[in-house]
Chain A
Amino acid sequence: MNIAAIREQFPILHQEINGHPLVYLDSAASSQKPRSVIDAINRYYEKDHSNVHRGVHTLGSRATDAYEGAREKVASFLNAALPEEIIFTRGTTTALNLVASSYARNVCKPGDEIVITQMEHHSNLIPWQQVARATGATLKYIPLQPDGSFTLADAELTITANTKVVAMTYVSNVLGLVNPVKEVAAIAHRNGAVMVVDGAQSTPHMRVDVRDLDCDFYAFSGHKMCGPTGIGALYGKKALLSKMEPIEFGGEMIDYVDLYESTWKDIPYRFEGGTPIIANAVGLGAAIDFLQEIGMDEIDKHQRQLAAYAYDRLSELEGVTIYGPKADRAGLVTFNLGDVHPHDVATVLDTEGIAVRAGHHCCQPLMRFLNVSSTARASFYVYNTEQEVDQLIAGLLKTKEFFGHAIG
């Protein structure tokens, strides 16, 4: 993997921030975009744009082909059986809310259970709280070990014959943990429940095979994987999606409308009301091409190496607490630097041109489990280098010195 050549393709990386070359270590929040994705969106608007599925004119066909071509790319990227199992959404949050509103609300009743974990980010937690509130179902949590992981034995104990939905993140955006979702899906299915996977953090970084995982639903966002903001997708097994009712009505999802009754199109269109997010879907398709050209296994290896390197370098710093397990870590490291508040850490790093995330990472219940109000997080992607990790460490040394001096 030629990092220099890859970096060359990301225009945004070549700038100075506060007088220093930008070191972008916040890709878990949102990744940067390669030239090919930016060009694909521009080209679409300059040459091919029209509404889809309606026009009989040439641009209508081109736009439709581009949009449906992107759906096929997503289906193949996730190894879905059929393109119609891919529903374009605004992102992970909308995708998970679609499952909660259209599937779970109609399936759950009092006495039923929804099983999640305390490491879920808000988008895979609050929709289930809301389903439980609306249906009388019980929300249950698989207990976590001190390092934030859970055991399959505990998953077996928590998931019961009353469980209707198990929802879980594939990769934790705080702990860097890769969850055994395939094994949990098997437990869910033995108990008659569906398995929902939050793929926001896994899809950008590793080979994902929804058929091998045997999950029933899988949600992800385009903007974390080199694609544009405002596009993501829900994968669902055809048999389940076909039974679900739409939750947004109008536009492309309509089949036949009468004064008092109407019918819907088949999947996936029945879930894509209004004019769809055409240009961004095209951009997502270009992002998938970009990632596949490098190879998902290569990307996975690279970001794991960076995370392992960062873990070791951070461990050498006195006063640093690192959260999550050391082994088998996805491409991010979450930490705190002594008593220095993460906001202060992030501000000092920013003056050195280094972008990290500080806060609760949309995981307030997990922060409470870790007994902190917030943390700092460095997250890596295909364009990051070991040298940038070294710059992070130098920035943290400066932070320590500054706050040690200023406070002490």
Chain B
Amino acid sequence: MQLDDLYRRVIMDHYKNPRNHGTLEADAVTIKLNNPTCGDSIALQLQVDNGLVTDAKFSGEGCSISLSSASMMTEVVKGKTFDQALELADKFSSLMKGEPVEFEGYEDIEALSGVNKFPARIKCATLSWNALRKGIEQQQE
């Protein structure tokens, strides 16, 4: 197990300079999730319009893996349809299982592939993606 597999430079960059950190207008869809094993929490906000995610922001606290993952997720999900976003969430699950997955046009996420070698940390990486899935599924109901 090599630390550099987990903490790639791009992850550290997102951790130190999270994109889309903050809050959206009050009418945005808000999903709050906790990681009950460690007390980390995320509040994900999605601006949605006619089956489209037009904007996304997140707040909360967590480790480098959960915060960088949230930062990347909010970047890639903007402008995607609900179905495209759910497809991305599925792709991310595959990445966490160690399957070779490409995120064309947004390769930053692939830096998180190393989390697969640290099973205890998968929950950190998937927290924001679970929030995304939950938010969209709520909208689709």
Chain A residues within 8 Å of B, Cβ to Cβ: 18, 341-344, 347-348, 350-351, 358-360, 364, 367, 373-374, 402-403, 406-407
13 new A-B contacts, CB < 8 A, other than A359-B39, A406-B7, are A342-B38, A342-B63, A344-B7, A344-B65, A347-B6, A347-B118, A347-B120, A351-B1, A351-B3, A360-B39, A373-B38, A373-B40, A373-B62
Cross-chain contact A402 with B121 (CB below 8 angstroms): no
- Per-residue CB contact flags for chain B residues 108-141 toward chain A (1 = under 8 Å, else 0) read 0000000000101100100000000000000000
The answer to whether B121 and A360 have CB atoms under 8 Å apart is no
CB pairs A–B below 8 angstroms (21 shown): A341-B62, A341-B63, A342-B63, A343-B40, A343-B63, A343-B121, A343-B124, A347-B6, A347-B118, A350-B120, A351-B1, A351-B2, A359-B39, A360-B39, A373-B38, A373-B39, A373-B41, A374-B38, A374-B40, A403-B64, A406-B12
What residues of chain A lie closer than 8 Å to B82, measured between beta carbons? Answer: none
B65 and A343 contacting across the interface, CB-CB below 8 Å: yes
A350, B120: Cα distance in complex, Å: 11
Say whether B37 contacts A348, CB under 8 Å: no
Given the known inter-chain contacts A343-B124, A407-B12, please indicate yes or no for A373 contacting B61, CB distance below 8 A.
yes
**B16 at the A/B interface (Cβ < 8 Å)?**
yes
Decide yes or no whether B15 CB sits under 8 A from chain A. yes
Residue among B1, B64, B66 having the largest count of chain A Cβ atoms under 10 Å: B64
| Residue in A359, A402, A403 whose CB lies within 8 Å of B38 | A359
Does chain A have a CB within 8 A of B9?
Answer: yes
The docked-state distance in angstroms from the alpha carbon of A350 to that of B2 is 11
Please tell me if the beta carbons of B9 and A406 are within 8 angstroms of each other in the complex. yes
Chain B interface extent, by class = 20 to 34
Q: How far apart are B45's CB and chain A's nearest CB, in angstroms?
A: 20
- Map CB proximity to A onto B33-56 as digits: 1 under 8 Å, 0 otherwise: 000011111000000000000000
What are the residues of chain B within 8 A of A364 when measuring CB–CB?
A: 39
Query: In the complex, what distance in Å separates the CA atom of A364 from the CA atom of B9?
Result: 32
In the bound complex, residues from chain B placing their C-beta under 8 Å from that of A358 are 38
Contact residues in A for B16 (Cβ distance below 8 Å): 407
* Residue of chain A at shortest CB distance from B12: A406
Kindly list the 7 A-B residue pairs having the minimum CB-CB distance in the complex, ordered from nearest: A341-B63, A343-B63, A360-B39, A359-B38, A406-B12, A373-B39, A374-B39
Query: Which residues of chain B have C-beta atoms less than 8 A from A341's C-beta?
Result: 62-64
Give chain B nearest CB distance to A122 CB in angstroms: 10
Alpha-carbon distance between A18 and B5 when the two chains are bound, in angstroms: 14
Q: Which residue of A lies closest to B15 (CB)?
A: A407
Indicate if the CB atoms of A359 and B15 lie closer than 8 Å: no
Q: Nearest B residue to A17 by beta-carbon distance?
A: B1
Distance in angstroms between the alpha carbons of A24 and B100 in the assembled complex: 34
* Assembled-state Cα–Cα distance A343/B39 (Å): 11
List residues of chain A with CB within 8 A of the CB of B65: 343-344
A18 CB contacts on chain B under 8 angstroms: 1
Residues of A within 8 A of B118 (CB): 347
Report the minimum CB–CB distance from B50 to chain A (whole Å): 37
In the assembled complex, the CB of B130 is this many whole angstroms from the nearest CB of chain A, namely 17
B64: contacting residue among A344, A350, A351, A373, CB under 8 A:
A344
Question: Are A402 and B3 in contact, CB atoms less than 8 angstroms apart?
Answer: yes
**Which of B7, B39, B41 has the most A CB atoms < 10 Å from its CB?**
B39
**B contact residues around A360 at 8 Å (CB):** 38-39
A93 to chain B, nearest CB (A): 16
Smallest CB gap from A348: residue in B: B3
Residues of A within 8 A of B2 (CB): 351
- Which chain A residues border B40 with CB–CB below 8 Å? 343, 373-374
Distance in angstroms from A356 CB to nearest chain B CB is 12
* Nearest residue, chain A, Cβ from B11: A406
- Residues in A neighbouring B1, C-beta threshold 8 A: 18, 350-351
How many angstroms from the CA of A348 to the CA of B1 in the assembled complex?
10
Say whether B63 contacts A344, CB under 8 Å.
yes
Complex Cα spacing A18 to B121, Å: 16
CB distance from A323 to the nearest CB of B (A): 14
Contacts of B9 in A (CB 8 A): 406
| CB of B59 to closest CB in A, whole Å | 13
Q: A167 CB to closest chain B CB, in angstroms?
A: 23
Question: What mask results when residues 81 to 96 of chain B are scored 1 for a CB within 8 Å of chain A, else 0?
Answer: 0000000000000000
Question: Which A residue sits closest to B5, measured CB to CB?
Answer: A351
Considering the chains assembled together, what is the distance between the CA atoms of A341 and B62 in angstroms?
Answer: 7
Query: Chain B nearest CB: distance from A368 CB in Å?
Result: 9
Query: Which chain A residue lies CB-closest to B115?
Result: A347
The distance from the CB of B36 to the nearest CB of chain A, in whole angstroms, is 9
Distance in Å from the Cβ of B33 to the closest Cβ of chain A? Answer: 14
Which of A351, A367, A403, A407 meets B39, CB within 8 Å?
A: A367
